[in-house]
Chains A and B, each alone.
Chain A
């Protein structure tokens, strides 16, 4: 039963997912494995296939081919598995005339671990009035409602698609801290897709970068940060310094050439670089993300 044991260490295993919409291929033979009790960031440009992937994992739509296993079991329309997954998509389909409190009641019926007391605490913190009807909520409070359900459900696999849309900086900050606090008390697997990478990157343990329906990178955030840096200086110096390294972006500003390198360097090759008469500086995560997801480029990562 070696096979079974191996399976159980991953909460989610997706293999060979392909999904086409007419002539657009949203996912191409997509495979990924996620470990239990980690916070994953799902990053990709608009139209990269993030929502399609999340919709398939949660049986909202079906793949043309491929497999989704959650906790070692086939998850597609599996009545026993689906209550273990809390998916808060960008678009909600709550009935517009229901009150927030009623939405919580239904969530509590569906999710075994739903903590109503915690939901109430979050309503106070985020200033959400439970008596309001869903249709009376502003864009921001719709996001807050999704956040509260997602957190209070305490599902073993919790998925947020763009959770902080329409929220101001202070509320986003509150969300990240609340998420980390509750994650510490109740470890579970979280997948968070977002465009706002700079502010959220360090909340994630691992990131999944998806481009044109394919997984281009899966790694620890700490590695991601360490692997990415600019070198700049006189064009000839930069060229010779960059030779043999994985350059993911290049630009010339006046007389200065700037190359972005994405590669795990040994201390020795780092020392070598430093002796090349070039300046070395970190790449902001948001920039790195743009370079890595640029569909006009085809670097091997």
Chain B
């Protein structure tokens, strides 16, 4: 998990996102326990309430659940759920900003498509 304190995103959103990232990458597996808010507080030097706010967001979205007296666990199916949500927001998050910046730079749609194809080949 990584936090960027100069980032415009709130710390609790970053907490939530970094946990999601770890679930997507398989660093934290489903049905395993995540660090407690108090552990996160000490690691990142943040108030436990802030860490709790990030964790609660994931509980509300059905990604984490609480085992009473033990702690927070990753729900079965959480990874699928995150992937689905992220695909849905892919357009808003990446394509819109991409097009905006391309417009600023005067890059046309065809040129962008060329670039994407080239990038795709490199990745394959």
Give the B-binding residues of A (Cβ under 8 A): 38-39, 173, 176-177, 180-181, 183-185, 202-205, 221-222, 225-226, 229, 280-282, 284
Contacts and interface: CB of A to CB of B under 8 A. Distances in A.
Given A176-B45, A180-B47, 7 more contacts: A184-B38, A202-B11, A202-B46, A203-B45, A222-B53, A229-B8, A282-B7
A280 B49 CA distance: 27
**Secondary structure call for the A interface:** helix
Interface of B: 5-8, 10-12, 38, 41-42, 44-50, 53
Contacts of A180: 38, 41-42, 45-48
Nearest to A184: B38
Nearest to A198: B5
B45 A226 contact: no
**Secondary structure call for the B interface:** helix
Contact of B47 (A39, A173, A284): A39
B48 A184 contact: yes
A183 B46 CA distance: 12
Nearest to B37: A184
B8 A221 contact: no
Contacts of A202: 5, 11, 44-47, 50
What 7 pairs between A and B have smallest CB-CB spacing?
Answer: A184-B38, A282-B8, A202-B46, A180-B41, A205-B49, A205-B47, A181-B42
20 contacts: A39-B47, A176-B45, A177-B42, A180-B41, A181-B38, A184-B42, A202-B46, A202-B47, A203-B46, A203-B47, A205-B49, A205-B50, A221-B47, A222-B10, A222-B11, A229-B8, A280-B8, A281-B8, A282-B7, A284-B6
Nearest to A280: B8
